[in-house]
Chains A and B, each alone.
Chain A
Amino acid sequence: MAKQKMKRNIFAGLIVLLFLSGCWDSSDIEDMSFVIGFGFDSSENEETPIKHTTQIAVTKKKGEQAGAQQGKMYQDITLEGNSLHDILRSISLQLPYPVYTDHLASIVINQETAERYDLSILLDQILRDNVTRLSPVVVLSKQQASDVLGTNIEGEIPSSYIGNIFDNETSTMKMLPPVRVGDIAANISSHVSFVLPNVTKEKNTILVHGAGVISGKNNKLVGYLTDDEVQGINWVTGKGKGGLLNFKDEKDNTIIYEVQHYKTKVEPLYKDGRLAFRVKVTSQGWISEDWSQSSNNLSERYVQKLEHLAEKKVVKLMEDTMKKLQNEYQSDVIEFHDSFRISYPRDYQEMKKDWDKYFADADVTYDAKIKIINTGDMVKD
């Protein structure tokens, strides 16, 4: 009896083994193409308005016939079409390995394309998809996105290069915090204007340069910001992670103030239909470079003078940026709506729809308090 039972168990065990051979959804890692970058351009052809570049990481040595592609760590496929998913599927016509977008690192959108198309349309497939994550960074590009993704950087894949540049936001104020697909989804769904960092292709490198303003009204690119204006934005939002402030003393000597940390507070005031904001910046930092020859940096008075100059410069940066945002682009990309929503929730419900208009007419006052806590390991007299 026992023996028979044993036999039965062994038989059952063998049958179970059959089911262990694999799962329905298994796919071998060497048979997949990992997409790490997307690029959006527009094409002149009306039938196929979108020119889309897919950057795929080369994960294997494909025998000897790699030929011209040798040494490259990625492969770019540029196709035209009228739907993103359609284009992605067309890749299967020329690539034996199915594309897999789980590891997407960055999305590059050409400026002209962003001017012409609603971002919510361009990114619709990515937001709907069940595989693509919400963490890739999104940038605008001055050149064609396909060119930017094709930049030949030694030993680097352009799209992950772009993603990694934003780790540097701690060392410069001229860089916006990275904007991820998820952030864009949030802004689009609440019809809020926002800024996207902009990248430019140089000969053998890609650099972050300025930013583009996306209007909440139609989710299209409406204007550009220079590096200085990006600094202004970082000061107003308080979202930068640190960096430098470059200002001049009265004799035109360059002085560099290194921001150790700073904080911005926006106080809205809404009275009799007049909207006003008060921006208060406080910062602490070091003087890390001072070109003036005759200056005693141990004297209290001198340090105070520097603090005052730095404050003036910060206010100027903010004022210039705001002027452009309010008058030229009429887009609240610095989240003033958030502080207003918190202070005046009921009024905001009504003003939400035309917020950018209210924002453009608002009075903004600035107040900067900068503290220099260290002038470095150097004493001049």
Chain B
Amino acid sequence: MKMGTTRITTMQMITLLSSTLIAVGIFTLPRTLAIEVGTPDLWICILIGGICGYLSSLIIVSLSLRFNRLTFFEFNKLIVGKWVGTILSVCFIGYALLIGSFEIRSMGELTQFYLLEETPISVILISMYWVAMYLLVGGINPIARLIELLTPICIIIFILVFALGFKVFEFNNLRPVLGLGAAPVLKGLTPTFLTFSGLEFLLVFIAMMQNPKDAKKVAFFGLAIPVSIYLFAVVVITGGLSVERMKHQKWPTFALIQEYEYEGILFERFESLFLVVWLIQMFTTFVVCQYVAAKGVSTLTRISYKKANYILLAAVYIICLVPKDLNELEKMGTIIGWTSFVFSFIVPGLLLLIALVRRLKQDGETKDET
């Protein structure tokens, strides 16, 4: 593989997808779920939510594979015509920007609350932007490589930090299973599905894979990793804090980590370790979103990818300062979740249907060789 190639390997793609999916949800999902569900069956929601996510990613994959080597921004025109296609692309770019700014703002808020009380939030945000920018202008390859490098470490630390939570774990908090029937579980499906927003970026990235045939594998493992981390986290948090407590804690994940202390091993407290890894995950999610948006802009217009990045940066900064407080930020999260539902399920589903009916298919292999 040459340096500077624009193709990414299967492994890189898996880590890219999984680290996009692990984001702010690890802080917010436990409480949202606990409030919606109210019984200890939270983990079932995540399992089912993961399966739903996989099904919708299959739609995305089969759609992308019909149009070899073309990204969402290019092939939607072939399916629904230039005008509708452009509108869809613009919406998709807007959505990517929205989710990117949401993640970066949440990151800023939590960093300010737990780590840097006195630092102005704009300083936290801007320093993050600059680092992201440095990575972004290099194109997809450095991004994929960096994520491939970081993700395994992050996963190990996540698992470690949650596994240590077994110190306060009480199995009774997870019982009974389905005590109030299946109704509460169904209520929890929406927030879970919304947490897996980011899946729709596959629409863009499959076109860049070295072996697009592996796309199904990517969808499976790329989802399985975050789903199992969320699952593990929710099981440990429910066991450690009880559902009742999760409802009353703004960030149950952090409460759990604060609850235990270990003496005699390298660290006694694990908040900082967890926050560092989590920051890395937020960073990668932001970078991926920003990449998708810039890629879209450069495909649609004549602006180069690099310039698009700089222009969008300003947009992201403005969007991310729109929510005035944490409640508004949370509302923004819900809006993003629903938009995500549209882009990862409804839009690809409709496009696939139209493509099937019109028998549209493009073999890009020949075009690709040139």
Contacts and interface: CB of A to CB of B under 8 A. Distances in A.
A345 B243 CA distance: 14
Interface in B307-355: none
Contact of A345 (B114, B176, B244, B261): B176
Contacts of A135: 258-261
Given A25-B118, A338-B172, A345 B245 contact: no
Contacts of B123: 24
A24 B116 contact: yes
Interface residues of A, number: 21
A346 B178 CA distance: 11
Interface in A336-353: 338-339, 341-343, 345-346, 349
A135 B242 CA distance: 16
Contacts of A186: 241-242, 244-245
A49 interface: no
B170 to A, nearest CB: 9
A299 interface: no
Contacts of B180: 345-346, 349
Contacts of B39: 345
Given A133-B258, A134-B258, A342-B172, A25 B119 contact: yes
A190 interface: yes
Interface in A91-148: 130, 133-135
Contacts of B175: 342
A127 to B, nearest CB: 9
A336 to B, nearest CB: 12
B174 to A, nearest CB: 10
A131 to B, nearest CB: 8
Q: Which of A180, A182, A338 has the most CB of B within 10 A?
A: A182
Please report whether the interface of chain A is mostly helix, strand, loop or mixed according to DSSP: helix
Contacts of B81: none
A341 B174 CA distance: 11
Contacts, number: 62
Interface residues of B, number: 29
Contacts of A134: 255, 258-259
Given A130-B117, A180-B259, A342 B179 contact: yes
Given A135-B261, A342-B172, A346-B179, A25 B117 contact: yes
B271 to A, nearest CB: 8
A189 B245 contact: yes
B244 A182 contact: no
Contact of B115 (A25, A180, A182, A190): A25
A349 B180 CA distance: 9
A185 interface: yes
A106 B118 CA distance: 27
A24 B118 contact: yes
Given A25-B117, A182-B255, A345-B180, A189 B261 contact: no
Nearest to A133: B258
Contacts of A346: 179-180
B115 to A, nearest CB: 7
A53 B114 CA distance: 25
Contacts of A338: 172
Contacts of B247: 189
Interface of A: 23-25, 130, 133-135, 180, 182, 185-186, 189-190, 338-339, 341-343, 345-346, 349
21 contacts: A24-B116, A24-B120, A25-B116, A25-B117, A25-B118, A25-B119, A130-B113, A130-B114, A130-B117, A133-B269, A134-B258, A182-B168, A182-B241, A182-B258, A190-B242, A338-B172, A341-B176, A342-B175, A345-B176, A345-B179, A346-B180
Given A185-B248, A186-B244, A342-B172, 20 more contacts: A24-B118, A24-B119, A25-B119, A130-B113, A130-B117, A133-B258, A134-B255, A135-B259, A180-B259, A182-B168, A182-B259, A186-B241, A186-B245, A189-B247, A190-B242, A190-B244, A343-B176, A345-B39, A345-B179, A346-B180
